[in-house]
A and B are shown apart, each in its own frame.
Chain A
Amino acid sequence: MSSDRIVGIDLGTTNSLVAFMQGESPVVIPGDDGSNLVPSVVALDENNQPVIGNAARQYLAETPERAVYSIKRLMGRGIDDVREELRFFPFRLAEDLQAGEVLRIKLGEKTFTPPEISALILRQLKRNAERFFGAQVTKAVITVPAYFNDAQRQATKDAGRIAGLEVLRLVNEPTAASLAYGLDKKQNGIVAVYDLGGGTFDVSILKLHDGIFEVIATNGDTHLGGDDIDNLLITIALDDTLGDLGLDLRRNPEAVQAIRKAVIEAKIALSSQPSVKLDVELPGGKRYLREITREQFEQLIQPIVDRTVGPCRQALKDAGLKPEQIDEAVLVGGSTRIPKVRALVKELFHREPHTDLNPDEVVALGAAVQANILGGGSEATENMLLLDVTPLSLGIEVAGGVTDKIILRNSTIPASATQHYTTQVDGQANVAIHVLQGERELAKDCRSLARFDLKGIPAMAAGMARIEVKFLIDANGILHVSAREQRSGKESEIRVQPSYGLTDEQVEGMILDSFDSAEEDFRQRQVIEARNEAATILAALDKGKKSAAWGHLTTDEKKKIAKMEKALIAVKSEDDYQAIRKAIDALNQGTTRLAELMMDSAVSTVLKGKTMDEADMGEGPTAPHPMAKAEFE
C-alpha cells in the first residue's frame, strides 16, 4: 500500500509544494521547518552538499556563487532562449558550454543542468513526504505551466527521474487548479482559469460536465510573472542610485539582493495598503528611501499586466466563446493577489473571480487530486476525468522552410497524426524530418523540437518508398514518433536528436542516490534524520532555558517540558525513528508557549540580520516611471 502512495507536486518558479489526498480532501505536506512552501532555491554548502529551500537562502546571502533560484526559467531551453533572462537573473553558465548542449549552471566549482537542480528540489519534496508518511514515496504527478512546450515538459519529466520519482503524469497547472476547485463544486459550466505565478502565465478555459474536466482552449506566456514586476522595481532603484548618487550597484550582488528583497516586500504590501515606503541600506552607509503609492505601482505594472490580455482573448476566441459565456473565473498564482490583476480578470471574463482557495497552494492540491485519480480514485474523485489539450501546434518542415501543421493547438490529448514520406533519389536510404512546435508560418520562427533520421529504407527507385510516420502526443503533452516503410513493411529505425534536452543515457547517469530506493537505507536515513532533528530541538530547548522567556513559564509547564525532554533523550539513541518522531512532536507541542515568548523578543534582532539573496544584475535596461525622485539619507 505505502509503495503505491502517489503524491502531487507543484514545481514552481518561486516556491514548490507537495500534497496528497488525505481521505476525501487534498492537503499540503509541510517541510520539517513547518512551512508548506519550499522556496525553489538550491545551494551547495562548504562540503559540496546540496541545500534546498529556506535553508538555501542563508547560503545564497553568504556564498552567492554557490546558489541559484528561478531555475524553472531555464528548463528545456537553449542558450539563445535565455540571453534576455541573463540580464535579470544571476545564473552563472558553465564557461565550456557548447552550442546545442543542454545548459549547465555553475554552483561553486561544480556544474548542474537545470533538470538536475530541479531534481534536488523534487528530492527535498520527496523527503518531506517520506518523513510525513514514514514510508517511501516513489511515484508522483508533477505540474507544469500549460503553455510549456515539449522540451520544457521533457526536462521536467527528466528532473523527476533524476530525483528517483516515477512521474506518472505531467498535469497543466491551471487544469490542476480547476480540479482542486471542482472537488467541492460538483457542477457543470464553463470555467476560465487565470494563472499568474512567479515566472509563467497561463489561461485555460474548461468545460465541466458531470465530472469530466475538458479543456477547450489554453494560452499563455512561459516568461511572464511576478519576477518581471520585481525586476522593473529593481531597475528603477538602480537607476535612482546611479543617477542621484553616482553609485553603480549593478555589479554588486549583495546590494541588488537587498533591493530585491525590499521591492518584493513592498509589492506584497501594496496589495493590502494604499502606499508603502521602501527603505534599503546601501553600501557606504547611505539609505535608499522611496514612497510608492498603489496608484503609481498600478501605473508601473500596467504594461506587464496588459501582456496577459492577448492570451486571454486568444483563448476565448479559440474556444469560440464570448466573455459573458464564462460561468466562473478562478485565480491561481501569487501574483493574482494584486488588486489590479483581479480587476483585469473581472473585466476580461465579466465575472467576480473566485479566491476561496490559497492561490499558492491550489495547484499542488489539484495535483494531489489527479494523483488520486491515477491511483484508482476514491469516493471524492469518483467519475472525475481530465481531458487536456496540447497548447501549441505540432508541425513539420516542408519545402521552402515552411511549417506544415499536423496537430493543431488545443487538440485534446492524446492526439496523433500520420504523415507519408517518399524518397527523392534512387536507392535513397535516409529521410530527414524536422519537427516543430508553434503557430508561425515559417519553420525558423517555430520552436525546433527534434530532427529525425528515418534510416534503413530498402533500396528502391525514387518515389517508390512509402514511409508512414506516426506522431503521437501523449497525455503528458510529450511527443512520440514511430515510422514504418509500408512497401516492405519494415519498421524504420529512428534516431531522435532532441534539439534541447538530455538523452536517456545522460538522465540515467544523473539519477540521485540510488540508495534512496533501498528499504534498509531508507530506514537508516529516517533514523539519522530523526536523531538530527532531536538534537536540534534539544539544543534549542537548552537555549530557551537560558532565555528570559523561561522565567515566564509556570512551574507546572517547566515540569512537563522536563518530562518530555527526558523521554526524547531516552528514545534518541534507539533505532526506532517513529518513536523518536513521536517524542519530538510531543516536545514541540509542549514548548509552543516557550517558543512564542522567545519569538517576541527575537523578532527585532532577526529583522536586522541579513538574509537576502544575492545576485549579479548585469546591464539592466533603464525603466521610465511615473514617480518623483527618490530620497537618499
Chain B
Amino acid sequence: MRAVHFCQACGKVQPPAPVDYFTFFGLPRKLNLDVAALEKDFYELSRKLHPDLNARAGSQEQEWSLQQSSLLNDAHRTLKDPIKRTQYLLQLEGVELEEQSKTATEQARSTGQLKKQIVPPDLLQEVFELNMQLEELRMQKKMGEDDPALIEEIGRQKLELEEKQESLLRELEYRWKMWDGMIQREQNGQPVSEEERKQERDKMVDVLNRRNYIRNLVRDVSEVLEN
C-alpha cells in the first residue's frame, strides 16, 4: 500500500506519514525493482509535492510540501541505486551496516592503526601483489621516475578489478532474486523461518562487503595512477 501523500478529495498536500521508502512509493520490500517505473512515479509525485508548485499555498501546506518533497527525493535517491537500495533494506531488516563500519573507522582512528578490512580469501594473493606494485609506483612517482610497463600492468589489474566489481553486482542481483522469492512465498502465506531470513541477509552482507573492498581498491589504484 502506498502512503497517502495528498487529500483524495481536495488534492492538497498532506503531512508526511512516518513510512519507510518502499511504502512511500507503495512498493513491496523486494530488491529487484523496475527503475524506469520508479522514475516515472518519482516525476509524477514531484509534480504534486514539490515546493515550487505549492508556493502559493498556506504556510502549513508549504511546510508539508517541503517535508514530503525531501522524503520523496531521499526515497528515490536510495531506491534507484542498487547498492543503496540493498543497504537500506538490510537496515530495515535490522542489520546495522553503517554502525559497524563507523565503529571500525573510529576505532582505527583512535588507535592510529589501519582499519582492519577482511580481505576476501580468493583475492588475498592478488591484493598483496597489487599493493606492492602500488607502493612501488608511488615511490617512483615521488622520485620523478616513470615505468610504463608497471603503469600498464597496474592499469590491467584495475580493469580486472572493475570486472570483478561488475560480477559482484551480478552476484548481488542473484541474491535479490533469492530474497524476493522468499518474500513472495511469505506473501503467498507460506511461513519463512527466521533462520532462512538471516541466511539470506548474511549472504547479501557478504557480497556488499566484498564489493566495498574492491571498490576501495579501485579507488586507491585510480588515485595512484592519476596523481
**With A and B bound together, what is the CA distance between A386 and B43 in angstroms?**
11
Instruction: Decide if A264 is an interface residue (CB 8 Å cutoff).
Output: no
Give Cα A473–Cα B76 distance, bound, in whole angstroms: 16
* Shortest Cβ distance from residue A442 to the other chain B in the assembled complex, whole angstroms: 11
Q: Is A357 an interface residue (CB 8 A)?
A: no
**CB atoms of A385 and B47 under 8 A apart:** yes
Contact indicator B109/A400 (Cβ below 8 Å): yes
Do A385 and B71 touch (CB < 8 A)? no
Chain A 348-387 interface 0/1 with B at a Cβ cutoff of 8 Å (1 = within): 0000000000000000000000100111100000010111
Task: Give Cα A374–Cα B55 distance, bound, in whole angstroms.
Answer: 6
CB-CB under 8 A from B50, the residues of chain A are: 385, 387, 475
Do the beta carbons of B69 and A414 come within 8 Å of each other?
A: yes
Q: Are A415 and B77 in contact (CB under 8 A)?
A: yes
**Docked CA distance A417–B88 (Å):** 13
Which secondary structure dominates where chain B touches chain A? helix
B66 beta carbon closer than 8 Å to chain A: yes
Is the beta-carbon distance between B52 and A475 smaller than 8 angstroms?
yes
When the two chains form their complex, are residues B52 and A474 in contact, meaning their CB atoms are under 8 A apart?
no
**Knowing A168-B55, A385-B53, A475-B50 touch, does A415 contact B106 (C-beta < 8 A)?**
no
Whether B209 is near chain A, meaning CB under 8 Å from some CB there, is no
Is there an interface contact between A413 and B109, defined as CB atoms closer than 8 Å? no
A127 at the interface (CB under 8 A from B): no
Contact B76 A412 (CB under 8 A): yes
Residue B23 lies at the interface, judged by CB distance under 8 Å to chain A: no
CB distance from B104 to the nearest CB of A (A): 13
CB contact under 8 A between A376 and B56, given known A412-B76, A414-B73: yes
| B46 and A400 contact, CB distance less than 8 A | no
* Chain B min CB distance to A97 (Å): 36
User: How far is B110's CA from A400's CA once the two chains are assembled, in angstroms?
Assistant: 7
Is A111 positioned at the interface, with any CB of B under 8 Å from its CB?
no
Contact A415 B52 (CB under 8 A): no
CB distance from B146 to the nearest CB of A (A): 23
What residues of chain A lie closer than 8 Å to B69, measured between beta carbons? Answer: 414, 475
Interchain CB contact under 8 A, A414 and B53: no
Digitize B61-73: 1 where CB-to-A-CB distance is under 8 Å, 0 elsewhere: 0000010011101
**A277 contacts partner chain B, Cβ-Cβ < 8 Å:** no
Knowing A209-B43, A399-B110, A411-B77, the reply to whether A385 touches B52 (Cβ < 8 A) is: yes
Please name the residue on chain A nearest to B106 by beta carbon. A399
Q: Is A398 an interface residue (CB 8 A)?
A: yes
Q: Please, how many angstroms separate the alpha-carbon atoms of A376 and B110 in the complex?
A: 55
- Do the beta carbons of B70 and A416 come within 8 Å of each other? yes
Contact B106 A398 (CB under 8 A): yes
Least Cβ distance of A367 to chain B in Å? 13
* Assembled-state Cα–Cα distance A387/B53 (Å): 12
Given contact pairs A385-B50, A475-B52, enumerate 6 new A-B contacts (beta carbons under 8 Å).
Answer: A385-B47, A400-B110, A414-B66, A416-B74, A472-B70, A475-B69
- State the A residues within 8 Å of B (CB): 168-169, 209-210, 212, 370, 373-376, 383, 385-387, 398-400, 402, 404, 411-417, 472-475
Residues of B within 8 A of A (CB): 43, 46-47, 50-53, 55-56, 66, 69-71, 73-74, 76-77, 102, 106, 109-110
- What are 27 A-B residue pairs whose CB atoms fall within 8 Å in the complex? A168-B55, A169-B55, A209-B43, A373-B52, A374-B56, A375-B56, A383-B47, A385-B46, A385-B50, A385-B53, A386-B52, A399-B109, A399-B110, A400-B109, A400-B110, A402-B109, A404-B102, A411-B77, A412-B76, A414-B70, A416-B74, A472-B66, A472-B70, A473-B70, A475-B52, A475-B66, A475-B69
